[in-house]
Amino acid sequence: VAQKTSFAGFAPRRIVAILAFDGVVLGDLSVPCEVFSRVRDAKGSLLYDVQVCSAKPVVRAGPVALQVARRLASLSRAHTVIVPGVDPVEQQLPQPLLRAIRRAAARGARIASICTGAFVLAASGLLDGRRATTHWRAAAELARRHPALHVDPNVLYVDNGNILTSAGAAAGLDLCIHLVRRDLGAQAAAHVARDVVMPPERAGGQAQFIEHDTPATDGVFASLLEWIEQHLHERLTLRTLARRAAMSTRTLSRQFRQHVGATPASWVAHARVRRAQRLFETTDLSVERIAAEAGFRSATVLRARFREVVGTAPIAYRRSFKVPLSAG
């Protein structure tokens, strides 16, 4: 049950506690700092109290050492706890940290992880039996180390109510905006999104974006994925791909799933949407034309698939993401 104690005309400033620890990813730490400390009411006063907390006064973060003023005890008053990514993910996490997270959750605080912060939440046991996401590159490892989770590498973030996880660093931004929307409504979310220069379409909804990178794969599949990219406009059936890879269709489906982590057809479908996205961003081509370029059988199919994956209509997407040509 979320705390919604507010008296008429007076809303308590919510405490957002951001955890720091050895190996914390600086980008993931700073994004929530930026977002939550920019949210103000109409009179201009801050609506969140951002507090960075750690188990010890100084923590190591890549090339720098961070001096952190607050200790874990501060979590006891937090409305929301943000867990940034950890690198490397294999490292031992201090028990007091995990205990503090569990205690905060048990108290009813909202817990959200960014990127590989999901490994910290998983280690605390809070994600057992739940759907979760993390950076796509780490998704398989997360699933391997914590079989009790349902890891979904294809979404921006997963909202389980009081436990949330998000994908890469950029998705952490989406997650923070999402939290603001839950607390204060769409208008406040749109306002802070504008403040950090995030496009309104992306800020506005349940859109679940796909990360654009291709997974690291060995020989045959790397070149097969490459070949797919170059032949998206053609008809790519399982049979075609299998012939290309010199395997039977059965073996291809099996190997593809094993090495790439997706089925051939769904991979091709996503690749087509990504291609369409890029064309909408960088060209003025018609929907029909882009459909053809990206290998959709019709503009209708493109609209459906695009909406399904990206969460917005193609034209609306273009309106907010079109990259302007540099003015001369």
* Binding region for DNA (CB under 7 A): 237-239, 247-251, 253-255, 257, 263-266, 269, 297-298, 300-301, 304-305
| Nearest CB to DNA, comparing residues 91 and 300 | 300
Give least dist CB 258 to DNA, A. Answer: 8
d(CA 236, CA 238): 7
Quickly list DSSP for 227-288: HHHHTTTS---HHHHHHHHTS-HHHHHHHHHHHHSS-HHHHHHHHHHHHHHHHHHH----HH
Among candidate residues 146, 176, 147, 181, the one with its CA nearest the CA of residue 164: 176
| Nearest CB to DNA, comparing residues 299 and 316 | 299
Give least dist CB 262 to DNA, A. Answer: 8
102 Cβ contact list (under 8 Å, min separation 6): 124, 125, 126
| Nearest CB to DNA, comparing residues 168 and 295 | 295
Give least dist CB 177 to DNA, A. Answer: 28
Give least dist CB 268 to DNA, A. Answer: 8
Give least dist CB 299 to DNA, A. Answer: 10
Q: How far is CA 161 from CA 2, 44, 77, 80, 127, in A?
A: 10, 29, 19, 12, 12
Give least dist CB 241 to DNA, A. Answer: 8
What tokens appear for 221 in the block?
Answer: 């599949």
Among candidate residues 210, 229, 237, the one with its CA nearest the CA of residue 293: 229
| Nearest CB to DNA, comparing residues 289 and 297 | 297
Give least dist CB 272 to DNA, A. Answer: 9
| Nearest CB to DNA, comparing residues 304 and 315 | 304
8 A C-beta contact, residue 173 and residue 159: no
8 A C-beta contact, residue 176 and residue 202: no
| Nearest CB to DNA, comparing residues 181 and 305 | 305
| Nearest CB to DNA, comparing residues 194 and 297 | 297
8 A C-beta contact, residue 120 and residue 98: yes
What tokens appear for 46 in the block?
Answer: 């801050």
